[in-house]
Chains A and B, each alone.
Chain A
Amino acid sequence: MSEPRIRLRGLRKSFGEKRVLDGVDLEVAAGTSLVVIGGSGSGKSVLLKCVLGLIEPDAGTIEIDGVDILALDARARRAARAAIGMLFQNGALFDSLPVWENVAFGPLARRTLARRDARAFAARILASVGIADSVGTLYPSALSGGMQKRVALARAIAGEPAILFFDEPTTGLDPIVGAIIDQLVVDCVKRLGSTAIAITHDMASARRIGDRAAMLHHGRIVWDGPAARLFDSGNAIVDQFTHGRSEGPITMELRR
């Protein structure tokens, strides 16, 4: 079996007394998409942020192409992480910059793109996510939620990253726009040949985006299998979550 592109081993992270990740083991093969599902506060975003280097894990290893990036020095870590594109939950577009500059930001920062070529470059990337060139001069605050998501997707893929992360790509969107974003995500991943990890609550989105799926519960991966099996996984925790049942092994502490 070939080396997985991303491999997490025993990843742990606590915030004070709260243990968010409690030994996460996960592998993602090159060119495939993994969807991580789990309840609110289950640590899905923390998991992505650990891989991105935005949060330092307490223990464990994060291997990309067989190299433990936690063992690298800061410069080498930054270089390894430059290969990762990220679509943030709320887009996280820079509201002080016009759309075209948001899209071209990464290549400009890496100096792989000259400023005089950035406008045309951004127009080409925006076209690939179905956005007209005229939108490029607008600021993010002038865009709808769906448009902002598409611009954020354009920014994430602009550097043609080998790895793409999607944090709740369809949150806050209506079902039709959500389906369009999912299709764009799938198209982008296939076109670039990227390896992708998406985290989501949206089961329809999970099945559309993912080749495989994993469920994070109490800081651990409790199930890992084909995304097509999400609704008949045979795992009681996954079944309760995917079917949205209030009764089952997942219990919520409600204040009465």
Chain B
Amino acid sequence: MLDLLAAVGRGVIGACRATGAASLFGLEGLLGILRPPLQPRLFGRAFVEFAYFSLPVVALTAIFTGMVLALQSFTGFARFNAEGAVANVVVLSITRELGPVLAGLMVAGRVGAAMAAELGTMRVTDQIDALATLSTDPMKYLVAPRLAAGIIALPLLVVVADILGVMGGFLVGTVSLGFSVPTYLHNTFTFMQTGDVVSGLIKAAVFGFVIALMGCYHGYHSRGGAEGVGSATTAAVVSASILILALDYLLTQIFFVR
């Protein structure tokens, strides 16, 4: 019994320590964004990697999600003669939840893993130490531009995801489910509020930060050669995904529950 308690205690202490270390790491990275000199070239490189190269995967995810959502809503609502609410459900679900969450999860798998692998390789091959010996703060050079890119890029990706997700629902609604184009569009735009979109974009900024933070944190602290880099990559994706889902709940509570 005591052994079990000790194991649980060690786990809790370890989790607290890791949370504290990651928080301080993130804070230092954020301060690095604000501290001159700015690093526009590094930010640009990270931004292209984060936003441009993630565009196809986010676009495909959003459009198919919108299509499925329209189909599911229609068949479900048909049970109580509420098929007319399909357009409303699609636009609300996409802008408030599915756009930021699914884009976040897809980008966590693509970019978070790549960040962890890149920084992890730099760590185990002494490149991060080499930076420090060349009068360069690794936090400022490696971490800050990636955090900034995450915070800015994911909201932009979510704008695209929102548009394509709603468009996916529109296509299914008008082509397969028999809605007229004016009716579907009317239902979409009269029901959607600015706050729905803005809350999704704020969530996206938070998720983008979390993805970059977990990728950088686990990569930066990786140890032990190729195996360590592999573990860091896995940890980055898993922790970012869980944090996205947990923070989504928290932010939804803050935004929508009065």
Question: Could you list which residues of chain A lie within 8 angstroms of chain B, going by C-beta atoms?
Answer: 49, 52-54, 78, 81-82, 84-86, 88-90, 92-96, 105-106, 109-110, 155, 159
Contacts and interface: CB of A to CB of B under 8 A. Distances in A.
A96 to B, nearest CB: 8
Contacts of A49: 129
B194 interface: no
A81 B126 contact: no
B135 A86 contact: no
B226 interface: no
Interface of A is mostly: loop
Taking each of B118, B131, B133, which has the highest tally of chain A beta carbons within 10 Å of its own beta carbon? Answer: B133
Taking each of A89, A106, A155, which has the highest tally of chain B beta carbons within 10 Å of its own beta carbon? Answer: A106
A82 B135 contact: yes
A53 B125 contact: no
30 contacts: A49-B129, A52-B129, A52-B133, A53-B132, A54-B132, A54-B133, A81-B133, A82-B135, A84-B133, A86-B133, A88-B126, A88-B129, A88-B130, A90-B125, A90-B126, A92-B125, A92-B126, A92-B127, A92-B130, A94-B122, A94-B127, A94-B130, A94-B131, A96-B118, A105-B134, A109-B134, A109-B135, A110-B135, A155-B134, A159-B134
Interface in B190-215: none
Interface residues of B, number: 14
A55 B129 CA distance: 10
Contacts of B132: 52-54
Sorted from nearest, which 6 A-B pairs have the closest CB atoms? A92-B126, A92-B130, A106-B134, A86-B133, A109-B136, A88-B126
Interface in B105-153: 118, 121-122, 125-127, 129-136
Nearest to B45: A96
A155 B136 CA distance: 14
Interface of B is mostly: helix
Nearest to B137: A78
Contacts of A82: 135
A84 B136 CA distance: 13
Interface of B: 118, 121-122, 125-127, 129-136
Nearest to B41: A115
Contacts of B126: 88-90, 92
A93 B126 CA distance: 9
A73 to B, nearest CB: 15
Contacts of A106: 134-135
A139 B127 CA distance: 14
B206 to A, nearest CB: 28
Taking each of A85, A89, A109, A159, which has the highest tally of chain B beta carbons within 10 Å of its own beta carbon? Answer: A109
Taking each of B118, B125, B126, B131, which has the highest tally of chain A beta carbons within 10 Å of its own beta carbon? Answer: B126
Nearest to A158: B134
Nearest to B127: A92
B256 to A, nearest CB: 42
Nearest to B141: A109
Contacts of A95: 121, 125, 127
B244 to A, nearest CB: 27
A89 B124 CA distance: 12
Nearest to A152: B130
Contacts of A92: 125-127, 129-130
Nearest to A94: B127
B7 to A, nearest CB: 20
A252 B131 CA distance: 35
Given A52-B129, A53-B132, 8 more contacts: A52-B133, A54-B133, A86-B133, A88-B130, A90-B126, A92-B125, A92-B126, A95-B125
Contacts of B121: 95
Nearest to A88: B126
A84 B130 CA distance: 11
Nearest to A86: B133
A1 to B, nearest CB: 30
Contacts of B134: 105-106, 109, 155, 159
B154 to A, nearest CB: 23
